[in-house]
């Protein structure tokens, strides 16, 4: 997709486009004029489950070719276990021409998203020489809650900001870090946001699910 200066555009990739159920990792490729001095912001957002929950995972800024970057390269890779799709918000943020006005060569960027077959460390990684990380503090876990009882382990590190759980039946409960079991409304959802956050590792326990559901765990480092 070609994005022009003055626009804020969203490029998307969905798991179903390649016959997948999930798309936990993505590569962000860019292409521009070899004479471009433009710096572009790429805000990377995974989408979780059919309820279309979207969260910001991180942001990178591109390095312009006039400062040594190759005109065509992979600028960033991102991973969010449980993601079913991705959005990248693209916007030109400045032009590095030492006070000289922008030219037509600075006015566009081609962006392409592709599913990355490798499961990487959760988060956004800016690739050296192509981009610089601007914000990378959030991480997410998402998946399906099976019928009956089950649990999910949250690894060490980071504060758990919120745990969202939903069900398509009745009777399910969720407990975070050994706390009390919280019932879910029939065909509904709950979001638990511990005051001040809870530091991992910890377990999120599900019980009495009469039908499959889903969860999303949000953390910040």
* 131-183 per-position pLDDT tens digit: 888 754 677 888 889 999 999 998 887 788 889 999 989 999 999 988 999 99
pLDDT at 135: 55
- In sequence order, the 6+-apart residues with CB closer than 8 A to the CB of 17 are none
Residues 122 and 145 in one domain: no
Residue 12 structural domain: 2-136
Residues 126 and 173 in one domain: no
CA atoms of 55 and 83, how far apart (whole Å): 10
DSSP for residue 158: S
Show which of 112, 136, 160 is a domain's final residue: 136
Q: Residue 10 maps to which CATH number?
A: 2.60.120
pLDDT at 50: 54
CA 62, 63, 66, 72 torsion: positive or negative? negative
Q: Residue 214 maps to which CATH number?
A: 2.60.120.10
pLDDT at 136: 47
- Give the chain's domain count: 2
Residues 76 and 127 in one domain: yes
The answer, as to whether pTM is greater than 0.75, is no
> Measured in whole angstroms, how far is the alpha carbon of residue 10 from the centre of its chain?
13
Residue stretches of the chain with pLDDT short of 70: 50-51, 119, 135-137, 195-196, 221
Show which of 114, 136, 158 is a domain's final residue: 136
Residues 128 and 185 in one domain: no
Residues 29 and 96 in one domain: yes
Of the CA atoms within 13 Å of residue 100, those in its CB half-sphere come to: 10
End-to-end CA distance of the chain: 32
Residues 35 and 110 in one domain: yes
Residue 124 is encoded by which pair of tokens? 């956004």
In the chain, DSSP assigns E strands to 2-4, 8-14, 25-31, 38-48, 53-54, 58-62, 72-79, 83-95, 108-115, 123-126, 131-135, 138-145, 148-154, 159-167, 173-176, 182-183, 189-192, 198-199, 202-209, 213-220
Show which of 107, 136, 165 is a domain's final residue: 136
């Amino acid at each position: 997709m070609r994005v022009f200066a003055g626009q804020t555009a969203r490029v998307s990739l969905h798991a179903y486009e390649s016959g997948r159920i999930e798309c936990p990792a993505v590569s962000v490729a860019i292409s521009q004029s070899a004479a471009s001095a433009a710096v572009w912001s790429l805000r990377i957002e995974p989408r979780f489950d059919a309820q279309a929950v979207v969260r910001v995972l991180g942001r990178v800024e591109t390095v312009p070719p006039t400062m040594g970057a190759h005109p065509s390269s992979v600028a960033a890779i991102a991973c969010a276990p449980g993601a079913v799709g991705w959005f990248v918000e693209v916007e030109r943020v400045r032009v590095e021409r030492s006070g000289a006005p922008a030219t037509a060569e600075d006015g566009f960027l081609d962006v392409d998203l592709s599913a990355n077959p490798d499961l990487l460390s959760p988060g956004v990684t800016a690739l050296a020489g192509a981009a610089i990380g601007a914000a990378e503090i959030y991480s997410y876990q998402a998946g399906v809650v099976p019928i009956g009882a089950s649990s999910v382990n949250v690894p060490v590190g980071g504060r758990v900001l919120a745990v969202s759980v939903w069900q398509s039946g009745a009777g399910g409960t969720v407990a975070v870090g050994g706390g009390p079991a919280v019932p879910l409304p029939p065909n509904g959802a709950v979001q638990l946001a511990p005051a001040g956050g809870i530091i991992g590792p910890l377990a999120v326990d599900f019980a009495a699910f009469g039908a499959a559901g889903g969860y999303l765990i949000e953390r910040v480092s």
